[in-house]
Amino acid sequence: MGCCSCEGFLVGDPFDFAIVSKVFSFIPEPLEGLYLALEFAWKAGGALKRLIGLFISLVLTSGCSSLPKATLPSEQVPSTSYQVAYIVNHGWHTGIVYPREELLHFLPELAERFGDGQYLEIGWGDMEFYQSREVTVGITLRAIFLPTDSVLHVASVPSSPYESFPNSKIRKMCLGQAQIKSLGRFISNSFERDPSGRAVATQKGLYGDSQFYSGVGSFNVFNTCNKWTAIGLESAGFDIDASFNLTASDIIEFLDSDENTNKAMECPQQENY
């Protein structure tokens, strides 16, 4: 029996609809009927089932080299100083809120665009879908079914992300120096660079003081905005399987799990956050 294995997924025969369900669980509410149609076609069996399985196998194979890659912390020793970063859940999409001054060590050109603010919120996603002012069914289907170019959305967070995003779910992460720098390298490696090594700005962002930049890697059904956040958590030293954390809820549930709550939330009292 042949199969393709990649980052925790197994595609072959039998092929459980639970995997199909997980893959398409990030489909936005306006296209919920598409998910129901896929479920019906899968359970009906026959040629449509084989076609869906073939599609997922092909996308999965292309996803074996998903970019950007995790950058693991250089050391695993107790840190004497800590910095705070945050995960923001906007509903179906997550982003990373990272200390601005720290990110400027990796991307100094951002100081020209974001002259102040304590943090920057960074999100990764499909170029056309993310930048579109009017999301159509066609744009959404291309984002789901075709490998497409990516962008990063960078927004200034003047002080507290709880003030900037009062309607979003937010989780705090207290990270040692090795972890915060590793996460910063991952974020930096997610930006496409021009020949001079600078991040490539595309268009104005979606809210507040924000900007889009060309991203590294292709967006596809196995390489989503939330998988990017999960890889960021892996880069920060969390033991997370990015392959199966494809939704915003997956990310929050991971951080809220018993083994991660203390690691994410508790910071030494001597530091000022």
Confidence of residue 29 (pLDDT cuts 50, 70, 90): very low
Q: Is the pTM of this model over 0.85?
A: no
pLDDT tens column, 102-159: 999 999 999 999 999 999 999 998 876 666 666 555 555 555 556 678 899 999 999 9
* Residue 163 clears pLDDT 60, i.e. is over it: yes
Q: Lowest mean pLDDT of 38-42, 180-184, 212-216, 245-249, name the range.
A: 38-42
pLDDT tens column, 82-99: 899 999 999 888 999 999
* Residue 32 clears pLDDT 70, i.e. is over it: no
* Residue 272 clears pLDDT 50, i.e. is over it: no
Q: In what order do the strands lie in the sheet with 210-219?
A: 169-176, 82-89, 94-99, 119-126, 148-157, 210-219, 201-204
* Residue 192 clears pLDDT 70, i.e. is over it: yes
Identify the CA nearest to 137 among candidates 32, 31, 224.
31
As a whole number, mean pLDDT of residues 183-198 equals 96
* Residue 245 clears pLDDT 50, i.e. is over it: yes
* Residue 232 clears pLDDT 90, i.e. is over it: yes
Whole-number pLDDT of residue 125: 86
* Residue 20 clears pLDDT 50, i.e. is over it: no
Whole-number pLDDT of residue 131: 65
* Residue 166 clears pLDDT 60, i.e. is over it: yes
pLDDT tens column, 57-73: 554 544 444 668 899 88
